[in-house]
Amino acid sequence: MDIKHIVAFAMGNMPAIGVAVVAMAVVAAVFLLITGRKRPKAMSPNERRFRNVFAMMTEDRRQSLISYYSRKHGCGRDEAMQRAVDDRARDEGRW
């Protein structure tokens, strides 16, 4: 079979090829769904802002900063991130 025969066969079976491509896409989507590919957890606006402000820190250091503010102010994780960002903004405003 040469290339002319293959092209002629493909041109005569375009609807079948289209259905096969769509079917393969559906199978791939179902496979990804079954294998447990998870979306990243949605971040709160405070966490997003905290991560942007302290982007140069390592993840361990950011977590340490959150636990420091949480212990210092006796608050939860979200409020601790907000307080850290507010303290940073106050420090920047002093100079």
Q: Which residues, 6 or more positions from 77, have their beta carbon under 8 angstroms from its beta carbon?
A: 66, 70
| 49 and 26 part of one domain | no
Is position 78 within any domain? Answer: yes
| 56 and 88 part of one domain | yes
pLDDT at 10 over 80: no
Domain that holds residue 85: 45-94
In this structure, the number of other CB atoms found within 10 A of the CB of residue 55 comes to: 8
Question: What's the confidence (pLDDT) of residue 37?
Answer: 65
Q: Look up residue 25 and give its amino acid.
A: A
| 86 and 55 part of one domain | yes
Please state the rounded mean pLDDT for residues 17-24.
Answer: 87
Is position 23 within any domain? Answer: yes
| 22 and 51 part of one domain | no
Please state the rounded mean pLDDT for residues 74-95.
Answer: 91
Q: Return d(Cα 2, Cα 87) in angstroms, integer.
A: 73
Is position 29 within any domain? Answer: yes
Binned at pLDDT 50, 70 and 90, residue 55 comes out as very high
Model confidence, pTM: 0.56
pLDDT at 22 over 80: yes
pLDDT at 25 over 80: yes
| 84 and 55 part of one domain | yes
Is position 40 within any domain? Answer: no
Provide the domain count of the chain. 2
